[in-house]
Amino acid sequence: MPGVETIDSIDAAGLALADFLRDHPRLLVITGAGVSTDSGIPDYRDAAGRWKRPPPVQHGDFMGSLAVRRRYWARALVGFKALREAQVGGAHRALARLEALGHVDTLVTQNVDRLHQRAGSRRVIDLHGRADLVKCMQCGYSMMRHALHDQLARLNPAFASLKAQHAPDGDADLETDFADFKVHDCQRCGGIFKPDVVFYGDVVPAIRRQQAEEGLARADAVLAIGTSLMVFSGYRLCRQAHERGMPVAALNLGVTRADPLLSLKLSAPLTAVLEDTLARLGGSR
């Protein structure tokens, strides 16, 4: 990343980010798992961008294999508690405040936890969907995920009582024999229920890509927060911005896929930097 210094102290990062926001008043912000780790939701990658655990389920495997779906829903029955009970964190609140002050035009989140909305952000695009909904892949019928989990718990009481370490996006590090797990399919057509999220190997719906690109067209600059940008859907926006000559900044504890494109790299605790930035911009901590 020639010519771009990495700033790793909170004060210096807060000062640099405040200056960046003053110089670029309309931001497209991209957020990732690092924004929600303080809320108790684990992230996928380490500071070097490597997987912390085996990669998550692939869309094709989920759709094509009952055994994969049994394993997925059994683990989710244990692990979804982390998402269901997660509380808004300081980074979510700070970004909502920055939006209220007029600094954030569009917030594109790769997270599926809806914590940005709960914190008060209004201009949010859930790029990868939302984990609190499930959708039938045949007829399109949707329902709240907690209702499906209630059904799964009634069908599988032995699994519902299991404990395991929580993993990202409502998964759990549970390994056992899943052959007896009963999957609940769509009550209308018998189709496959899937969380209303973009699994690995799937594609972001065209309407969300269009909304994100419209936000990019309005923006003066891009700021990525709490994401390594290893997933192409987020990195793509940074690459498009760079190709248009727009500044791209990142606030992330670790490497990002967009490091060679950055005009500002901040590697310091997210919430502390955002709160320091708010104070310098006249907002409240």
Q: Which of 128, 166, 184, 242 is catalytic?
A: 128
The domain segmentation of the chain, as residue ranges, is: 6-280
Per-residue pLDDT, 284: 60
Gyration radius (Cα) of the chain, Å: 20
Predicted confidence pLDDT, tens digits, the chain (285 residues): 445 879 999 999 999 999 999 999 999 999 999 999 999 998 878 888 887 778 889 999 999 999 999 999 999 999 998 899 999 999 999 999 999 999 999 999 999 999 999 999 999 999 999 999 999 999 999 999 999 999 999 999 999 999 999 888 899 999 999 999 999 999 999 999 999 999 999 999 999 999 999 999 999 999 999 999 999 999 999 999 999 999 999 999 999 999 999 999 999 999 999 999 999 998 764
d(CA 73, CA 80) in angstroms, rounded, equals 10
Q: Which two tokens stand for residue 134?
A: 């499930």
d(CA 46, CA 44) in angstroms, rounded, equals 7
| Residue 30, beta-bridge partner list | 108, 224
| Domain covering 6-280 assigned CATH 2.60.40.10 in the classification | no
User: The tokens 């190709």 sit on which residue?
Assistant: 243
pTM confidence score: 0.94
Instruction: Identify which of 109, 183, 113, 194 has the alpha carbon closest to the alpha carbon of residue 153.
Output: 183
Q: Are strands 193-197 and 129-136 parallel, antiparallel or unpaired?
A: antiparallel
108: left (phi over 0), alpha (psi -120 to 50) or beta: beta
Task: Specify whether the CB–CB gap between 108 and 46 falls below 8 A.
Answer: no
Q: Give catalytic status of residue 128 as yes or no.
A: yes
**Cβ neighbours of residue 194 closer than 8 Å, sequence gap 6 or more:** 62, 63, 134, 135, 137
Phi, psi (deg, nearest 5) at residue 213: -70, -35
Per-residue pLDDT, 52: 78
